[in-house]
Amino acid sequence: MRTQLILIAAIAAFTTVAAAQTIRVGVFDSKAAVIGFYRSPKWAATIKAKHAEMDAAKKANDTARIQALEAWGSGKQDMAHRQLAGEAPIANILEALAAGLPEIAQGAGVVLIVPDLPYADKSVQTVDVTERVLDFFEADLRTRALVKEMTKHVH
């Protein structure tokens, strides 16, 4: 019986301490991530490859492939605009970012990373990891200036 009481007291004490602990959560501006991703070297390489495919399709007079590539480009551009406006999910960007999230989290000392956290109670300490996200996407100075300018007008 005494062992059970000690165990119950220990569980209660642990629960109280755990509830009082602050959880550090990394947050990033999703619009900054959109800009960083679409201006990244990785995206530039994707576009370069699509241009090469288009050149080859034109040389081969492959109208079906040309139309498919034009549709791809138009679709991606529309998606990027909608993502920047907050009207489309950023799943493709999160997928591209996934490999860097553990390092970003470790560097920022957070246990979780989310885009645009609209609310957190006092047990959550938010840590802005937007710059680290831009680092992962190898954002150049012009990209960072665009992000800074955008946030000036939004906030």
Distances (CA, A) of 73 to 50, 54, 82: 8, 11, 14
The CATH architecture that domain 22-154 belongs to is 2-Layer Sandwich (3.30)
Task: Compute how many other C-beta atoms are within 10 angstroms of the C-beta atom of residue 53.
Answer: 16
- Token pair recorded at residue 108: 């920022």
pLDDT of residue 5: 35
Taking a C-beta distance cutoff of 8 angstroms, is the pair 134, 30 a contact? no
Overall pTM > 0.85: no
pLDDT in tens, the chain (155 residues): 433 333 344 344 444 445 568 999 999 999 999 999 999 999 999 999 999 999 999 999 999 999 999 999 999 999 999 999 999 999 999 999 999 999 999 999 999 999 988 898 999 999 999 999 999 999 999 999 999 998 777 65
Taking a C-beta distance cutoff of 8 angstroms, is the pair 33, 96 a contact? no
